[in-house]
Amino acid sequence: MTEGNIIIKNAAQLVTCSGNEAKKGLQMNELDIVENGTIVIEDGVITRVGKTDEVLKTVNEEGFQVIDARGKAVLPGFVDSHTHFVFGGNRAEEYSWRLKGVDYMEIMKKGGGILSTVKATRNETEEVLYEKAYERLTSMMSFGVTTVEGKSGYGLDTETELKQLRVMKKTNDHHPMDVVSTYMGAHAVPPEYEGQEDRMIEDIIQHVLPRVQQEGLAEFCDVFTEKNVFSIEQSRKLLMAAAVMGFKLKMHADEIVPLGGAELAAEMGAVSADHLLQVSEKGMKALADENVVATLLPGTAFSLKASYAPARALLDAGCAVALASDFNPGSCHTESLPLIIALATLYMGLTPEETVTALTLNGAAAIGREKEIGSLDVGKKGDVVILKVPSYHFLSYHIGVNTVEQVVKNGQLVLNNRHLLMK
């Protein structure tokens, strides 16, 4: 049996999500399903997709690992396109304070909030951060995720930001998961820069981004554009400099206040604009016109008891919508895609089909990988999820329950019954 050669045959549903670009609006309902389907992967790349009897006529099963997916649904590997999975410490006690009604300012006085994670991450060794990050990736993979985006932003100083990014690079090298790294030094304003946000942005441009670039530690640059964090003008300056250095762009936009972040994302040609709870109609149209993926994070709104992003309005405006977990230690401490799917379908008005597209092809587009992953098309990576149920409908129907049985990454079975096989 050759490594990276696998046949998955007799699938009750082969949900191909076929396409090489993000799907917009009602196109997101098109899943291109093959019943009783088979997929062939050679050297980690998909080479055949179709009806079982037709595909098996053209291939000799010798030399392949063969998985019989009879009675099971088979989908592209899920893409979690917005996470903060590398951090030190935890905020479990702080979460309990919030549940008891303690407001954020009081939590800050008690030593909580994002700066508590910054302190813990600064004090954590790279080795320990790596061990924790590896475990989190394995948990994500158990939910069917085969590619994840990770952001820095819990250092807010040069060395800790680089430490976070080095951990991401190491996990990408050693974990079966593909990790796409984003530098987000402009995630919050630490005490040493309080009231000096312009100087912080300038220091990032002059001193941190060049080191990230030189060491090849990140593909994207992100910024938290929000009232009392970084303004539109400050964000534009950072993103323009990052683009000149060759970084692709992302934005935390219009989460709490309708500041015009979506419009800036469109102006800057960002790959995605994320959160968007307060996005304006003008911002929606701009995202659609400039092909910026709208990445929605319902787990965060749920955790914060906030209103959800206007998913249906974004689709009606012609946007491509992606979904992601926003896994982080503060506002959304979950990597559970079943939870994200339940929230998207029950409370954001997405159809089951739109939700699948948002977690596959459009998730891939949100990290610039739509031509490589996100669908079961010939020529793409052999990243596949096998459910223990016969239909993708169970993803939303079996509320909050993980229906993933096996995960194939680059044509190799890497997770079986939620146990990681490759390390």
pLDDT bracket for residue 1 (50, 70, 90): low
Taking only the tens place, the pLDDT of each residue in 321-370 is 999 999 999 999 999 999 999 999 999 999 999 999 999 999 999 999 99
Nearest to 200 by CA among 229, 222, 165: 229
pLDDT bracket for residue 420 (50, 70, 90): confident
Mean pLDDT of 389-400: 98
The three-class DSSP label of residue 53 is helix
Residues 6+ positions from 142 with CB-CB distance below 8 Å = 402, 404, 407, 415, 418
Mean pLDDT of the chain: 96
Would you state the pLDDT for residue 103?
79
Compute the distance between CA of residue 336 and CA of residue 328 in angstroms, rounded to an integer: 12
Instruction: Report whether 265 contacts 289 (CB < 8 A).
Output: no
Taking only the tens place, the pLDDT of each residue in 273-296 is 999 999 999 999 999 999 999 999
Beta bridge partners of 49: 39
Identify the H or E element spanning 293: strand 293-296
Instruction: Report the relative pairing of strands 33-42 and 45-51 from DSSP bridges.
Output: antiparallel
The three-class DSSP label of residue 70 is strand
Question: What residue spans of 71-113 are helical by DSSP H?
Answer: 92-99, 104-109
Read out DSSP for 322-387?
A: EE-----SSS-----HHHHHHHHHHHS---HHHHHHHHTHHHHHTTT-TTTSSS--TTSB--EEEE
Instruction: Report the relative pairing of strands 293-296 and 321-323 from DSSP bridges.
Output: parallel
Residues 6+ positions from 159 with CB-CB distance below 8 Å = none
Percentage of the chain lying above the pLDDT 70 cut:
99
pLDDT bracket for residue 423 (50, 70, 90): low
The three-class DSSP label of residue 34 is strand
Would you state the pLDDT for residue 418?
72
Tell me the domains of the chain and their CATH numbers: 6-76+375-420 (2.30.40.10), 79-365 (3.20.20.140)
Instruction: Count the neighbouring beta carbons within 10 Å of the beta carbon of residue 206.
Output: 10
Residue 106 has pLDDT above 90, yes or no: no
Compute the distance between CA of residue 235 and CA of residue 215 in angstroms, rounded to an integer: 23
Residue with the two structure tokens 């076929």: 18
Residue 2 has pLDDT above 80, yes or no: no
